[in-house]
Amino acid sequence: MPSVQDLRRDFPALHQQVNGRPLAYLDNAATTQKPRAVIDAIVRFYEQDNSNVHRGLHALSMRATQAYEGARERVARFIGAADAAEVVFTRGTTESINLVARGLGATLKPGDVILATEMEHHSNLLPWQQAARRSGAELRLVPVTGADAEGGLDAAALDALLTPAVKVFAFTHGSNTLGTVNPAAELCARARAVGAVTVLDAAQTVGHGAFDVQRLGADFTAFSGHKMCGPTGIGVLYGRRALLDRLEPDETGGGMVAQAGFTESRWKSAPERHEAGTPHVAGAIGLAAACDYLEAAGREAIAAHDAALARLAYDRLAELPGIRLLGTRGARGGLVSFAFADVHAHDVVTLADEDGIALRGGHHCNQPLMRKLGLASTTRASFYLYNTEEEVERMVASLRRVLKFFGAA
Amino acid sequence: MSGDLTELYQQVILDHNKRPRNRGRLPTATRVAHGDNPTCGDQCSVYVRLDGDRIAEIGFDGAGCAISQASASLMTTQVKGKTAAEVRGLYDAFHHIVTTGEAPAEISDLAAFAGVHAFPARIKCATLGWHAVLNALNGDAVPATTETRAD
Ligand SMILES: Cc1ncc(COP(=O)(O)O)c(C=O)c1O
């Protein structure tokens, strides 16, 4: 990986003062900053190639189509897909999961089980609640263990839950609330053994290290461009070709139809089958540029960098009085999530912002888990390739001031 | 600490946050209302015993940020003994303070919240307890949510 200081120069938004202090952007699990290369790729498209795709025979339309399909191939290589047709562009993780949940949900019936886990983001929980409601299938959840969820997913409970009645197992690769990273390959293999289709929420992992859909073995994988240096409004649903071609389209309209009649129509095969309407061409191009950027920076190196910062933060935070640190100690992605006995996360975040430090406080779209842990909210610091040890130290110093201010230390 | 922040976290607010007044469920309550703030997870329940149209007793409990909890605490001290119409008047004055930062001299205690106006995201924290007490007075059983009401 190039030096962090070199990388930082590529991100215009990092170079600003917030409340008179240099910005320390530690909210990367929510969204990441964008390198100049990504911003330029989007601008270049709008300035030079802007046109609709797939439908025109003129020069610009052909260039736009080439760029869009080139982006699909770029993303396919980035995630190790066997075939670019397995990459469906969506608005993001949420749309990807809704698409697959509606499609799979239509094949379920009473007596079937949808299995998810207690550490799912609302985006990988509510669509399955809806699928269960519509189909009559039952939604069951793998519990997390430990007072601070330090035990990860309950392995014994998973054994009992993974029966042949389970038709779908949807789970997150990296938890945005706990920092815990689940053993995705092992979980997919176990689900496959009972015949379940697997859906992996990889929003927190695709851009944070090596990632290979074939090695992980999930049937479907969802992620968002904006959490990996790409633009907002673009994401991916990866699916194994045979499954994508069978999945009923969620949206119908232009671009996805093979043969349209006045009263009946036939769909194209994947990926167009699942991309009705004009796609977010500029977004796909920006996402491809983000793939280039991350690969050049070195994906293994990014993973090691994020993990080292998270470890440093975890150890330094553990020294603060009255702190609860959530999630497993090991197998951790680049984030830490914590709560103080006497100071609410929103007060923490407001005071840290005063020091130029961007943290997130709240339930992180994980309300049922928060309730189970007896917490209303946590404060979260999440790291990426451009963050520094100095920023971690600044955060810890700021938190000490917060505790003093509220008379908690 | 900047001027804006010391304005936001006034001594009165820190004090109510640390030593909340009228905290706890009221066994004699004739009206109860819950308020919650879905984006933050702040919660507040307000228990009221009405004597005719007047609040004879009031209690609250909940969990949330210093602003929400201190505001609910201060609110209970302001509305006790007041009629429903008077409470509505106080809320209007309070709402004006937290949204504009302007505090008329005659309502000195609530003026502690004037600093909130510089932090728009926190206005709904400050008004949570007030929404709950208004709902209790309206005899509303549904939780007040700051997301669907105008602040
Ligand atoms: C684990 C996880 N899943 C799903 C999502 C939803 O992603 P998006 O809002 O980009 O659709 C997020 C982002 O907050 C996330 O962290």
| Domains (range + CATH), chain A | 4-30+299-405 (3.90.1150.10), 40-295 (3.40.640.10)
Q: Which of A6-20, A251-265, B35-49 has the lowest mean pLDDT?
A: B35-49
Q: Indicate yes or no: CB of B42 within 8 angstroms of CB of A376.
A: yes
Q: For residue range B89-107, list pLDDT tens digits in order.
A: 999 999 999 999 998 777 7
B35 contacts in A (CB within 8 Å)? Answer: none
Nearest residue in B to A361, CA atom: B40
Q: For residue range A177-232, list pLDDT tens digits in order.
A: 999 999 999 999 999 999 999 999 999 999 999 999 999 999 999 999 999 999 99
Ligand 1 pocket: which of A93, A99, A360, A369 to mutate (most atoms within 8 A of CB): A93
Section A366-387 average pLDDT: 94
CA of A302 relative to ligand 1 center, distance in Å: 20
A259 strand-pairing partners: A266
Q: Which of A34-38, A282-286, B144-148 has the lowest mean pLDDT?
A: B144-148
- Band of the pLDDT at A408, cuts 50, 70, 90? confident
Interface check A405 vs B, CB under 8 A:
yes
A22 pLDDT above the threshold of 60: yes
Question: Interface pTM (ipTM) of the complex?
Answer: 0.83
- Band of the pLDDT at B144, cuts 50, 70, 90? low
Using CB atoms, pick whichever of B2, B41, B66 lies closest to residue A347.
Answer: B66
- Band of the pLDDT at A369, cuts 50, 70, 90? very high
Q: For residue range B23-44, list pLDDT tens digits in order.
A: 999 999 999 999 988 777 788 9
Section B38-67 average pLDDT: 91
pLDDT at position B142 is 52
B45 strand-pairing partners: B34, B61
From the CA of A172, give the closest atom in ligand 1.
Answer: 1
B150 pLDDT above the threshold of 60: no
Q: Indicate yes or no: CB of A346 within 8 angstroms of CB of B125.
A: yes
Quote the mean pLDDT of chain A.
Answer: 96
- In this structure, what token pair is assigned to residue B77? 């001290």
CA of A294 relative to ligand 1 center, distance in Å: 19
- Band of the pLDDT at B149, cuts 50, 70, 90? very low
Ligand 1 pocket: which of A28, A89, A94, A199 to mutate (most atoms within 8 A of CB): A94
pLDDT at position B104 is 78
Instruction: List chain B domain ranges.
Output: 3-140
Q: Which residues of A are catalytic?
A: 365
A346 contacts in B (CB within 8 Å)? Answer: 40, 42, 64-65, 67, 122, 125
**Share above pLDDT 70 across residues of chain A, in percent, rounded to a whole number:** 100
Section A327-347 average pLDDT: 91
Using CB atoms, pick whichever of A19, A343, A377 lies closest to residue B41.
Answer: A377
DSSP H helices in A199-355: 213-216, 241-246, 281-297, 299-317, 345-354
**Share above pLDDT 70 across residues of chain B, in percent, rounded to a whole number:** 91
Q: For residue range A85-129, list pLDDT tens digits in order.
A: 999 999 999 999 999 999 999 999 999 999 999 999 999 999 999
Quote the mean pLDDT of chain B.
Answer: 88
Question: In b/e form, how buried is each residue of A153-187, taking b as 16+ CB within 10 angstroms?
Answer: bbeebbeebbeebbbbbbbbbbbbbbbbbbebeeb
**Share above pLDDT 90 across residues of chain B, in percent, rounded to a whole number:** 68
- In this structure, what token pair is assigned to residue A173? 């690769």
| Omega before A12 within 30 of 0, i.e. cis | no
Instruction: Annotate chain B with three-state secondary structure.
Output: CCHHHHHHCCHHHHHHHHCCCCECCCCCCCEEEEEEECCCCEEEEEEEEEECCEEEEEEEEEECCHHHHHHHHHHHHHHCCCEHHHHHHHHHHHHHHHHHCCCCCCCCCHHHHHHHHHCHHHHHHHHHHHHHHHHHHCCCCCCEECCCCCC
Domain at B3-140: CATH architecture: Alpha-Beta Complex (3.90)
pLDDT at position B1 is 64
Q: Which of A19-28, A40-49, A399-408 has the lowest mean pLDDT?
A: A399-408
On the 0-12 / 13-18 / 19+ scale of CB atoms within 10 A, A259 is exposed
- Amino acid symbol at A78: F
Q: Indicate yes or no: CB of A347 within 8 angstroms of CB of B122.
A: no
Q: Which of A211-225, A383-397, B118-132 has the lowest mean pLDDT?
A: B118-132
A386 pLDDT above the threshold of 90: yes
pLDDT at position B151 is 40
- Band of the pLDDT at B146, cuts 50, 70, 90? low
> For A338, how many CA atoms within 13 A lie in the half-sphere containing its CB?
28
Of the candidates A41, A14, A227, A229, the one whose C-alpha atom is nearest the C-alpha of residue A4 is: A14
Using CB atoms, pick whichever of A20, A351, A376 lies closest to residue B5.
Answer: A351
A374 contacts in B (CB within 8 Å)? Answer: none
Section A62-90 average pLDDT: 97
Distance CA A96, CA A75 (A): 15
pTM of the model: 0.93
pLDDT at position B140 is 60
Section A309-319 average pLDDT: 96
